[in-house]
Structure 1
C-alpha cells in the first residue's frame, strides 16, 4: 500500500505579517501536514499556536517552545502517534535552535515529519545541520524534513542536511517581495516519490510572510 500526502513548509515570520493572507494561502494549498518555522516559542506560546491552527483549520501535532518555534500542524486525516524535540548546542551570543519531529499515520502509510530553522551565522549552521541530520537518521520510517536553512544549495549546510536524502525541488523562496534566494528546502527519504513541487508566489503569499511557502505532493510507501 501507499499513501498520497501533501506537505507544506512555511516560515511565517513570527506572526508579523497579514494573518488573513496566510490563512488564505494555506487554505488554497490544503496541506495534510504544515511544517512551520517561526511559530510561537515564548510567552503564551500554546495559546498562540493553537489560535494559529484554528485559523488555518488544522490541529497542533507537535512543537512550540521545546522545539524553539518549529511547529507541526495537521488535518484530522493525519494521526500523530508520537512527537519529540531536539535542541542544538547553544552558542553564546546566538539564539538557541532546534527541531520538531512527529511520527504520523494516514491510511496506507506511516512516516516522520521534521522541521527546523537554522542559524543565520554561517559558522554555526553546518553544526546545526549535522545535528539535525543525525537526528533524522535515527528513524526507520520514511522521513520528510523541511525548514529554513538560511543557506542555499552549494553551501556546506545544504549538503549536510541533504546527505542521503532526495531534494524535493529547487526554487527561490526569499524574500517574498522578490524572491532571489533559495534558503528553504524540503528533503525526503529516497523511498518517497515526489510527484509535484512548487513555491507559491502570488500577491497573497507576498503579503502573508517574508518567505514563500513550499508545497510538495508525495507518495509514501507502507
Structure 2
C-alpha cells in the first residue's frame, strides 16, 4: 500500500507515473488529486498513467483519491467532509471497502488542514467514521503535523504506525524537515516492510516523498 501527496499534480507527471509503477502497490491512497473541473476524467487519466483503476474518492472526498490494481476488488466506497471554516480550504476523507481473495478490509485516505486549530476536530470526525468500520482498516494520509501532534495521536490510537521506529522524514523533498505522511494499520494486519521512497523520480514528482508498506491481512 502506498500513500502519496501529489502536490496538485504540479510537478513532473512522467516521474510520478514511473515512481508509482515501480512501487507497484495494490492500493494507492493519494492526496491533492483532481477535485475540481472535469475531475472524473482527470482521475481516470491519472489512474491510467499509474496503471491502476479508480476505487473511490475524488471531488466527493475533496481531492483524496484511492486507486487499486486489478488484484483488489472494491465492493463499496463512501466519503466524509469536514465543516468548512470561512477562509480555509474544505477537506474530507475517502473510504473504500476491498476484497483480496477471502480477505475483506477498508482503506481510508485523508489530508488534514494546515491550520493547527482545525486539525484536531477534523481528526475527531475521521476517527468517529473509522470506529464505524468493523473490518480491518488501514489509513494513509498527509496529516500536516509531525508524530506526537494531537491529531496524529488521535488517529493513531488503537492502530499500528507502519513505520515502526523508522522516523525518516517525508516533507519537503527540497528541504526535509517534517514527517507529515504516514500509514496506520489495524492490529489485525501485519506490517512486513515499510519504506519512504527517495529516488530521482520521487524527487521530481512532488514536494512529498511517498510512503510504502507491505501488509499481510488474514482472511
Shorter chain as denominator, the TM-score bin is: over 0.9
Q: 1:110 aligns with which of 80, 104, 117?
A: 104
- Aligned-partner SS, 1:66: helix
CA RMSD of aligned residues (A): 0.8
Q: Within the alignment, does 1:123 sit opposite 2:120 as a pair?
A: no
Query: Where in structure 2 are the equivalents of 1:1-222 lying within 5 Å?
Result: 7-169=1-163, 170-222=167-219
Gaps of 5+ in 2: none
- State the 4+ residue runs in structure 1 displaced beyond 3 angstroms: none
How big is the shift at 1:108?
Answer: 3.1
CA–CA separation in structure 2 for the residues paired with 1:129 and 1:39? 20
How big is the shift at 1:203?
Answer: 1.5
How big is the shift at 1:133?
Answer: 1.2
Gaps of 5+ in 1: 1-6
How big is the shift at 1:178?
Answer: 3.3
How big is the shift at 1:174?
Answer: 0.4
How big is the shift at 1:166?
Answer: 0.8
**Deviation readout 1:156-196 (Å, 9 max, x if unpaired):** 11101111111111321000123221011110111110010
How big is the shift at 1:132?
Answer: 0.9
TM-score where L is the length of structure 2: 0.97
**Deviation readout 1:116-165 (Å, 9 max, x if unpaired):** 00000001111111111111111000000010000101111110111111
CA–CA separation in structure 2 for the residues paired with 1:22 and 1:61? 19
How big is the shift at 1:8?
Answer: 0.2
CA–CA separation in structure 1 for the residues paired with 2:127 and 2:182? 13
TM-score where L is the length of structure 1: 0.96
